[in-house]
A and B are shown apart, each in its own frame.
Chain A
Amino acid sequence: MSEALTSAPLPRERERVAEGRVRARAYSDPYLAGTALGLVLLASFALAGRGLGASGAFTTLAAKVTNSPDLHQSSWLLLEIAGVVIGGFASALLARRLRFTAVKASRATIAFGGGAVMGLGAVLARGCTSGLALTGGALLSVGSWLFMIAAFIGGYVLAPLLRRAWR
């Protein structure tokens, strides 16, 4: 396994771990989760007049830190991404999937590098999978669909070279 469990089990959990792994809830059916996600997106249209986003929160923070006027800023997205963190945490907690996992150095480097390249791509495209593929996709935006298709192509092209990293 490329990830090692380094956190010590809590006293109550030790007995359960002795019997076998702690039973985490299975992931939801992807179509159901996708539909739910679509409803969240729809609610955003109706309540906020806009869709979701993620990279925009990163550009907002980076713009504040580096004083770049060119990066897109949105306080709405900062609040939204704070919610994403809370929501992700809550879901993992309730599903007993909350686990502090350490990372191998090689995986950490690739993850960091991949993140950096995504950052560049997201700035150029003015968005990411949340803001363009999901939101723009649902609103039939030409550029958003173009981005989404290009992203899948980019991923599939590079995948064979990274096969060893994912083993």
Chain B
Amino acid sequence: MIALAIGIAFGFCLERAGLGDSRKLSGQFYFTDFTVLKVMFSAIVTAALGAFWLARLGVLDLAGVYVPETYLLPQLAGGLLFGAGFVAAGLCPGTSCVAAASGRGDGLMVVLGMFAGVAVTGLAFAPLRHFYESTARGPLTFPQLLHVPYGVVVFAVVALALATFAAAERWERRA
């Protein structure tokens, strides 16, 4: 199926980038290795530009692509927690699978930990439910929020990325 093929390509790219290595990933948070930032932001820019232009040229039906829904508070809180767990584990859900697949023992531990965390959260869901469902905004995008054209936001993302990359390169050279 397409899901499998895409997953294989996904995992391949992640491993190629070195994101299966927890030590490398954690370097992001100690300002020694900016690979995480470079890979993620490059991917975002590529896909955002690609999606915009393919849609603009009529090749892709952008409205038919599922946009993740916005839940302001849960995603803020979830993000903070996720980041904390990330710097401890040195791997995220996707890269932990890649790490485990490469034979790394700590990758497997992160996979197991994630599974445990998710399972426990599911079992203890009742007290979280109200918070979980709060501040829903639907598939809200920045063009809608700021009332600016889609292309303007795409430009802003590209500009931000290029500026960030320049800064990261300078920082790495200093380290």
Contacts and interface: CB of A to CB of B under 8 A. Distances in A.
A65 B90 CA distance: 26
Contacts of B175: none
A43 B3 CA distance: 11
Given A114-B87, A116-B113, A123-B122, A141 B6 contact: no
A88 B93 contact: no
Contact of A31 (B7, B139, B142, B165): B165
A122 B118 contact: yes
Interface in B6-51: 6-18, 20, 22-24, 26, 28-30, 34-35, 38-48, 50-51
A47 B28 CA distance: 32
A105 to B, nearest CB: 10
A108 interface: yes
B92 A146 contact: no
Interface residues of A, number: 118
A18 to B, nearest CB: 22
A146 B142 CA distance: 11
Interface string B124-156: 010011011000010111110100001001100
A31 B42 contact: yes
A131 B78 CA distance: 13
Contact of A126 (B75, B101, B121): B75
Of the listed residues B43, B71, B86, the one surrounded by the most CB atoms of chain A closer than 10 A to its CB is: B43
B120 to A, nearest CB: 7
B103 A101 contact: yes
Contacts of A30: 17-18, 34-35, 38-39, 42
A28 B12 contact: no
A114 B71 contact: no
Nearest to B19: A33
Contacts of B42: 30-31, 33-35, 37-38
Interface of B: 1-18, 20, 22-24, 26, 28-30, 34-35, 38-48, 50-51, 54, 59-60, 64-72, 74-94, 96-106, 109-123, 125, 128-129, 131-132, 137, 139-143, 145, 150, 153-154, 157, 165
14 contacts: A31-B39, A35-B43, A48-B2, A85-B97, A88-B101, A101-B103, A113-B113, A116-B116, A121-B81, A121-B85, A126-B69, A139-B48, A150-B83, A162-B88
